[in-house]
Structure 1
């Protein structure tokens, strides 16, 4: 054997054997357990390189301490990238700070394998270990496990710019006084600074920006910020490439002409000066007129019949907007046949516009209709409710929260909103962005709306409704929705009566001095020992927090989160087929993609931990028949993660 190497392999390495049916040799894993540190550095195998890397982490003692720390602690291993400056002399960076590495929260063990091959084999295969193993007969190679990595420190924080100011007088004075933590030096430094010190700014107005000459460092008297980046971990932008873009062999990126822009009209202001669109965007009108003349919508393929389907979709939308001037996109989906969904966004842009803020945000409004012009549009205002994460994690809540409808569902009301979007206090609706008129089947809310007094002018926060009336509606929905999610359909009538008759929007306005009545109107009889020490009549702080949580009942109210809305838009983009040939991606007769009025997408009683392989495949086939077929063909079964 000419050369050997140690490899950290998390996946199986298999070399082809000459004889079929020969089993691989078995090895015991009674081998040393080894901790590891994954450094964001290029460390060679030389002793000097390894020693230098350990010194940058503060020495071997600190490395051992970090590896032995508990995984739940905040202690980590500090890596100083500017260790070289500290070692060579007294020069230090003004804003010196390390990158912190931490133990992997969940153990992910990996095996260190030692592979021995004839000398020169790895080099001949370009450093590819798999190719090298495959090129050598089994009797001339040896792969042996030598250790198991069972503890790992990883660095995931970003490094930051650090500025060196050794030649800057003001920075040197700061380091010699405040940074030294010597009180006499600090006092002397503070006393030496005049009230109006022009020195830090004296050369800023006289600087000549000349790229051909270097400006002396003494001209910069202002210290840099301690950190130039405000976060340790990089922000996840969730960048996704344009699905219509392709790259050539030369690296140039081009976008296929099948992408069609919808030119949706948006109103970004809620003020009186905001103009309401009466027609579609000029560019969209131009494309639509060309399609009328040629019979082919610009950018689409003739055989896709995009224009013909667009006309059908527009006819459906025009009829819908005649009956109801303001719609939520999720409600419209149930009116459009599956084969026309590829044209829906452009069809909506031809008949409606959108507000980006205010009580009608996230709705599609018929051209020429201004919901700010009359209180009759108050019933189309939207309210968004969200079940808190702590409640969603409950197994009981998971059974009571319905699966969202498929993109290609069909409404059980011809030309109207599916009944499962309404909230009447007996079940959790499909979608928690609810317009006011979808709440009127609940008697308590209907009573509040019937007695509501509308404002003279709508506001961006509450629309036509007064804040108190809107608070009553939110309280009732949050209470009943929270009960239903937890499997309780019997409501407290005293609480509902209290919500209907509220006099103030905030509970703090109801509290009398020295008293703390229950926010829900229930008087709790307690002795003096239940209050805080001192018997001052005040409610303990932890009890106040508990009351607030009980009052919300695990449900939040407010505007639709931008992150949620963006995710919905992204999902729609992914599901929309390419305009040129969208028929192939959305088969018209696909039963799995469409939900009828009396069918459900998944069985609520299905338990993956006890289901058989065939039952799991059957559940998958309701969402993705092709994927289910591939799994059934290529797999013999599933193994639970806990049993691996």
Structure 2
């Protein structure tokens, strides 16, 4: 056994020369052309100014080409200088490796190249873009937006030139004879607008490693038609598709529009949640996806909600929740299924955003006028984000000190004496103010047919009720109590005067589109509100300037 000492590798000092590395995604045949795809400014920003990305332009002279995105990462690599010395006799050469420095940063291009789209180089916008890059002042000053007439002439000339080139004419035929009709026809697939491509086509920089396998949570099911029957292919076999059973399912109640059919839905699947703009029939049962989740909720709580809807067929969320304890309220909020199992909602109209008993149609019952919903927007109500801990304590029904917080179960009632919230959302049956109660119960205020905006009340009656409610509610928000005597000017007004003093649309017979008539009645249209604010700002500026001029005129120097 040889006991000779083992020779250790020599210890050499590490050079302090810094290097930067670029993992170029291609074969570098010309170093100059490779560096042209990586601008010097981009390299300096990436390696010397702590940038995290680097773009590689395969077509550096094309401003519409999408670059390849690279990542700049920190590394601890060494740069070796390898020298090979060949022998004249052809035997194995001698290699010498020397460390010349370390690599602190490396640019890696692991992302896929984006889709490329080359626009028409003769397009006027493309020419303008190149002129801006070249700082061509003459071309920039000569630029003009093309009109429809200019675009039509350009398309006509292009079509004529293509026809001439295709036929390879010898010049004996007049090209104008091949121009076709006076109105140019745009070739199929070509837009006359000349739209350019977006700055990014694909949002997936790295390919998905799916291994040509389907998701393990997806199962194969039959393709069903609208009636629930399997769809057959040409050979008579049922068509199959894969469905992700683990996907999130929305447990929203069935939603219909005021103008939808009053016929009962034949099956629970006809009223689909979130399909607010599709015509729906009157729901008589909850949606199928909600019915499947019935077994996951407390049946006693569902029965209590059904009993409340039997006593009163229409509720606002606040009014309905106030009928239950704090624990039941949390359970209803967490399950998301209790209310959709028992009620449906209107997307617009007098009963908008209220829970209506399944099978009950307030549009057919004049007594449903007491369940109409009134809503006023409080523009002075600032939405302040609550702290996370405070929000958690409120969700648990506890205050800041951790003790159980007393619930206010009268927040849905308006008595004209005090308010419980900064937002006015009330049903007419929950208004106990004597003056308003008398107007609400007035049988002469009922109309023969229901209206999409005013419900079962005449326009003058519901406008008078809203005006008094608005005055009293916002008066209490300002810290003062509005008495009945303060509202007698609205009570004693003639019906025509009440209607004329409200802000209305110009054509009352115009059919309002869904989700377009949900503003509180009497609120300004957005464009009118902007114009009024601008007019007020200009008036304030004018008054301020006039006051300054008046002060300067009164000043007399000694």
TM-score range, shorter chain: 0.3 to 0.5
Give TM-score, length-normalised by structure 2: 0.44
Greater relative contact order, per chain length (Cα 8 Å cut-off, separation 6+)? 1
Give TM-score, length-normalised by structure 1: 0.39
